[in-house]
Structure 1
Amino acid sequence: MPAALFRTMADGLSAIGVLRRSGAIELRDPVELLRTARDATVLGPVATAFAHAARHNGAATAIVDEQGPLTFAELDRRSNAVANGLVARGITSATVLATLCRDHRGMVLSLLAAGKLGARIVLLNTGMAGPQLVSVAERENVGAILLDSEFLHRFGDLPNKLPMILTSDDGWANHEQPTLDDVRAGQPTRPLASPEQPGGIVVLTSGTTGTPKGAPRGKVSPLQSAQFLDRIPLPKASATVLAAPAFHGTGLSQLILGWALGSTIILQQRKFDPRRTLADVEHHRAGTLVLVPTMLQRIVDLGESVLAEYDTSSLKVIFAAGSGYDEDRRRITEPGVVGTIFVASALSFGGYTDGTGKETVDGMQSSGDVGHLDAAGRLFIDGRDDDMIVSGGENVFPLEVENLLVERPDILEAAVVGVDDRDFGKRLRAFVVPAPGASCDAQQIKDYVKATLARHKVPRDVVFVDELPRNATGKLLRRKLESADPQ
């Protein structure tokens, strides 16, 4: 037997074992296994995970948003009606849909209806500016947009008028666009005929500068979830507080996995609030909390006295998202040597929708990060490859300096960027958010860094600010800081 075939069979058997132990599949129900496998080939990951959960326990709560709970059965009927309503309005599997909405039932209905219709859906970032949205809509050949009414004004420069459907009207009285309720009104709640193939989901890069790229997700085998669940054993039939937005890869993946395990997804529609997040964990006895690192930091920054006000003992998993080679792409094995990180996964995508892709070596893709191994073989992330600053001929990764700065009790947040310098080419400028009630001194901060790190890593300037600029997913907007007036 060829080695590759043997490895594939072994991986498949291992994956089945992981999914059985996690509760995502039940080997004693082969009919359901076959149905779920078939769904994955035509519906895509979101609708497949949802359909599996709806068949298993339709009366269980699927989501909770600011309007209240919806069961899997209720959400199934509503999404069927939305899908039928879209067809009645001329939208087919050939239409590319786009969403621009916060986390609520409208976003979920849009994802499910697109999956059931077999239409590709592009998840737009709520932090994107109008010109970026227009550029992405044109590049992705978007044929209809489902959005919250608060974002209507951002599409004012679209050259072609596209159909727009409101996923939430937010109390805005003056609008001409139909709502999702209008679309599903009077429509049958029976399912459409299964599409021939999944339309796919396009998740955009964060887009801190320029036009965000689209990373498509098409067919995804349920077995591929085993790679994640083998490392992070999410609890079954629990509650998941989804603080990370669903248009973000982190939020979307955990929505899918949560449903695959029969869990209730607690959505947080408006701006992230650390206290409300803790309250949701306590109220719903959540087993999983999903967020981006900045959100986690804001929770930690509340302080021990505030954290003690909330009972978070139900939490089993806090999931927050963000092997190496040298410059000649040879494997690095010795500790302390910085190299580019390459990863391999069945969930890897084939390339961006603009035709570009990530560098690949031996079947593994570059993550865009650089890191090093310690003597025990543990991997440490030093920073993003494109964030590296060359100062006086030395490479500096801002993350190292930033992590050192936030260890100080008088500093809440810090960001380090490179600025032009006549002698060194580039020098570091640190933007610091003081902790509440703290009195920070720039020279003390410089001396603190100098006492720990190399001289070329000491900031030339320290600028105190009230907050750092971030996009809707919490990613730091370094380009804004680089062009900011230090005064």
Structure 2
Amino acid sequence: MSISLLLEMAVSGNPDRTAVVSDDIRLTAGQLSALADGGAGVITASGAAHVAYVGTGGALLPLLLFASARAAVPFTPLNYRLSADGLRELIGRLAEPLVIADAEYAEVVAGAGKQVISSEEFLASAGRSEPVSEFVDPDAVAVVLFTSGTTSRPKAVELTHNNLTSYITGTVEFDSAAPEDAALICVPPYHIAGVGAAMSNLYAGRKMVYLPTFDANRWVELARSEGVTTATVVPTMLDRIVTALEASGSTLTTLRNLAYGGSKVALPLVRRALQLLPDVGFVNAYGLTETSSTIAVLGPEDHRAALATDDASVARRLGSVGKVVPGIEVQIRADDGTVLGPGETGELFVRGEQVSGRYTDIGSVLDAEGWFPTKDVAMLDQDGYLFIGGRSDDTIIRGGENIAPAEIEDVLVEHPAVRDVAVVGPEDPQWGQIIVAVVVPAEGASPDPDALREHVRQQLRGSRTPDRVVFRDELPTNATGKVLRRQLVDELQPISKESA
């Protein structure tokens, strides 16, 4: 099944339904389909073997996604925040790409790839070009996304049409949205959540309202003016939206569901959001690029039950990512490959039709039975709730003992003087690595480092006590809210060496 069939089904259901709202652009499902056909004609005429997009998204993302599918060539949205050299390096790894760029990035990528045209030019050409709709092999690559590459060279993840459509049809009911439903999308186009949102909302029959550049007050304004009923945000966005709502006293009368994900969200922030928006159903979605987006979900009822209960085991679920979605299998494995039981911590492996596990120039990393190694530390409880403990690469080895940063972070973030925290392990000549807690103080607070260390010591083993506590106004994160731990380690490394 080609992803273009998702658009065809949306058109067959209701061609006159508003499908996309992006600044001054408003497109019905039928108009989006016609532009995708014309866009496929532009792509085919260029002779390109790949389509790359550099820009902030909006209407261009679903248009290019489906136009590329109908032209039977892969599509890659690129991180427009990268340097010129970084963008050119990634473009150079794509086969004869047609590069489409928003006006502010056109000069940055001028001369790259097979051809460069502006987003405005592509949009205009799509409206007058001879339509094309090619048959595509479901096992052909539909989308290539580059991993963040914060600690190594970015990998090019290949997602087939079958991977992506398996995810959509397995998790979304076709034409299930009410006529008034609208989704506010502000995740970046080069992230799997952005690609997934374009397909899932269209398939459900939900109007997509794009906010290409996130601003909390603008987000609230759009949510009200467009009657937004559902939205997806990353942790930093959720924090700023909650702060903006608290400051303004605004309400979101139409909002029914708010999904968050992309990285771990501090529990105090989740509780704060739940209390501020008691009528909103919160969803914690966990997934990876290699799994075509979401593989586990903690739904609204689980959120409410965890917030209201006195049962510690139920309350603990608020820190989980919920249960796996239909069509996905999971295993927790020890270092020697042994499959672990409930309550035991190891590496998360996943399997299913939506799981790719394939990289350009590397090939598939699935094992002989089709399992993908996520590199995430995880645990399943007795009731099947999945808990993610961070990346295995982030594990701190201090004096030969393996220490998971998340364990310490979960304790520190509950301190009333702490707003956010990241625990990292700079190198140390004596211990191999030391534990450094990078703390963002709560507003108006001036926490004492020794008091925070004692707070950890009282709840965890002494070996988990941070060797040092440092303070920052904010943590460095990428566009999806993931903390840039390598950057923190690099900043702290000289301190560690000087302390030797």
Per-residue Cα deviation, 1:247-287 (whole angstroms, up to 9, x for no partner): 211221122111111111111111x2233333333333333
Output the CA distance in 2 between the equivalents of 1:273 and 1:455: 42
**Number of aligned residue pairs:** 423
Q: What is the TM-score normalised by the length of structure 2?
A: 0.77
Unaligned runs of 5+ in 1: 1-39, 169-178
How many Å apart are 1:182 and its aligned residue?
4.8
Q: Does 1:343 align with 2:350?
A: yes
Please say if residues 98 and 142 of structure 1, whose CA atoms lie closer than 8 Å, have aligned partners that are also in contact: no
CA offset at residue 427 of structure 1?
0.7
- Which residue matches 1:330? 338
Label 1:307 to 1:257 Cα distance change in 2 as closer, same or farther (>3 A): farther
Secondary structure in 2 aligned to 1:220?
helix
Change (3 A) 1:358 1:454: farther
Find the counterpart in structure 2 of residue 113 from structure 1.
Answer: 67
The residue correspondences of 1:88-487 to structure 2 (distance < 5 A) are 88=45, 90-92=46-48, 95-155=49-109, 162-167=114-119, 179-184=121-126, 186-188=128-130, 191-197=131-137, 200-220=142-162, 222=165, 224-229=167-172, 235=177, 237=179, 238-270=181-213, 272-300=214-242, 302=243, 305-306=246-247, 308-312=249-253, 314-320=255-261, 321-322=285-286, 323-335=331-343, 337-360=344-367, 362-485=369-492
- Measured after TM superposition, the shift of residue 196 of structure 1 is 4.5
Matched with 1:35 is none
Give identity over the alignment, percent.
Answer: 28
Contact 2:440–2:471 (CA<8 Å) still a contact in 1? yes
Matched AA of 2:162: V
Distance in 2, matches of 1:115 and 1:255, equals 13
Deviation at 1:436, TM superposition (A): 2.6
Deviation sequence 1:429-468 (CA, Å, 0-9, x none): 1222223322222222222122222222222222211222
SS in 2 for 1:430: strand
Cα deviation, residue 357, structure 1: 3.9
The answer to which structure, 1 or 2, has the higher relative contact order (CA under 8 A, 6+ apart) is 1
Deviation at 1:207, TM superposition (A): 1.9
| Alignment partners' CA distance in 2, 1:267 and 1:457 | 43
Per-residue CA deviations over 1:276-318 (Å, capped at 9, x if unaligned) read 3333333333332122333334434x17734851225531352
Q: Closer, same or farther in 2 for the Cα pair 1:68/1:182, shift >3 Å?
A: closer
Give the TM-score normalised by the residue count of structure 1.
0.79
Structure 1 runs of 4+ aligned residues shifted over 6 Å read none
8 Å CA contact retained: 2:476, 2:484: yes
Instruction: Write the letter of the residue equivalent to 1:256.
Output: M
User: SS of the residue aligned with 2:117?
Assistant: strand
Could you say if the C-alpha distance between residues 466 and 153 of structure 1 is closer, same or farther in structure 2, counting changes exceeding 3 Å?
farther
Conserved in 2, the CA contact under 8 Å of 1:115 and 1:199? Answer: no
> Per-residue CA shift, 1:208-231, capped at 9, x if unaligned?
13321111122227555343248x
Give 1:122 shift. 1.6
Tell me by how many angstroms 1:361 deviates. Answer: 6.5
What CA distance in whole angstroms lies between the structure 1 residues aligned with 2:125 and 2:407? 51
Post-superposition shift, 1:185?
Answer: 6.1
Secondary structure of residue in 2 paired with 1:247: coil
The 2-side partners of 1:449 and 1:165 are apart by 55
Tell me which moved more, 210-219 or 147-156.
147-156
Instruction: Give the drift of 1:65.
Output: 1.1
Q: Give the Cα separation in 2 of the matches to 1:399 and 1:459.
A: 13
Structure 1 CA distance for aligned equivalents of residues 172 and 34 of structure 2: 30
Q: Secondary structure of 1:484's match?
A: helix
Unaligned runs of 5+ in 2: 262-284, 287-330, 496-500
Tell me, in whole angstroms, the C-alpha distance in 2 between the residues paired with 1:204 and 1:305: 36
| Change beyond 3 A, Cα 1:111–1:78 | same
**62-71 vs 372-381, greater mean Cα deviation:** 372-381
Indicate whether 1:60 and 2:2 are aligned: no
